[in-house]
């Protein structure tokens, strides 16, 4: 069976639309997850500060979440602590508006917006990276300028986690 050139172009157009849609969906899911992790980090950070929560409380919280949501992954005590680290690393560079829901002890998944002093290009790069990339950058850098540089570079160059880690260590040690 011989396919017409028009038919082959139609297949290419459909393929392109499918791939673009899948990429946008993955990007939206990633943004939603980072927003959730940021909000949980904020919640935990404030509870530790205000109610003097310790590591044991976070372990119990993690176990209770497993009971409430069987099969839940990514919310171990270690990961919850990392969410707190994620929030605290970006707290000063974000604009967090008080909401009614915060007063009601619920977690509001408000948009993460950056202060005007932080590059406008950061937002797209920020949400383009996985949580694992963010953790690596937070743990390997000290200054906010370094964090921003590596977030933007990792996103624009599509660095894998191992590549980003290698290049950060190489650059920051020199």
Q: Model confidence over 16-26: pLDDT tens digits? A: 999 999 999 99
Inter-residue contact 119 to 144 (CB < 8 Å): no
Task: Map out the domains of the chain as residue ranges.
Answer: 1-115, 119-174
Whole-number Cα distances in Å, 102 to 39, 96, 97, 119: 11, 11, 10, 28
In order of 1, 48, 54, 89, the CA distances from 77 in angstroms are 59, 14, 11, 18
Rounded Cα gap, residues 98 and 75, in angstroms = 25
Q: Which pLDDT band, with edges at 50, 70 and 90, does 70 fall under?
A: very high
Distance CA 35, CA 25 (A): 15
Close Cβ partners of 87 (under 8 Å, ≥ 6 residues apart): 37, 38, 40, 41, 42, 44, 45
Find the farthest-apart pair of alpha carbons in the chain and give their distance in angstroms, rounded.
Answer: 73
Percent of the chain with pLDDT over 70: 84
Tokens 């604009």 belong to residue: 95
| Tens-digit pLDDT profile for residues 87-144 | 999 988 887 555 544 444 566 666 677 766 666 668 888 989 999 999 999 999 989 8
pLDDT at 165: 81
Radius of gyration of the chain (CA): 20
């Amino acid at each position: 069976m011989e396919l017409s050139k028009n038919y082959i172009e139609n297949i290419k157009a459909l393929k392109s639309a499918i791939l673009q849609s899948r990429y946008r969906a993955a990007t939206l899911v990633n943004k939603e997850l980072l927003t959730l992790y940021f909000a949980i980090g904020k919640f935990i950070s404030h509870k530790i500060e205000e109610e003097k929560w310790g590591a044991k409380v976070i372990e119990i919280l993690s176990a209770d979440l497993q009971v409430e949501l069987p099969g839940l992954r990514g919310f171990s005590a270690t990961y919850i602590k990392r969410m707190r680290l994620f929030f605290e690393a970006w707290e000063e560079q974000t604009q967090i508006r008080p909401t009614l829901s915060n007063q009601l002890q619920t977690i509001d998944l408000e948009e993460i917006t950056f202060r005007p002093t932080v590059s406008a290009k950061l937002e797209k790069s920020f949400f383009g990276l996985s949580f694992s990339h963010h953790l690596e950058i937070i743990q390997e850098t000290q200054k906010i300028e370094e964090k921003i540089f590596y977030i933007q570079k990792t996103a624009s160059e599509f660095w894998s986690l191992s590549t980003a880690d290698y290049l950060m260590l190489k650059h920051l040690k020199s």
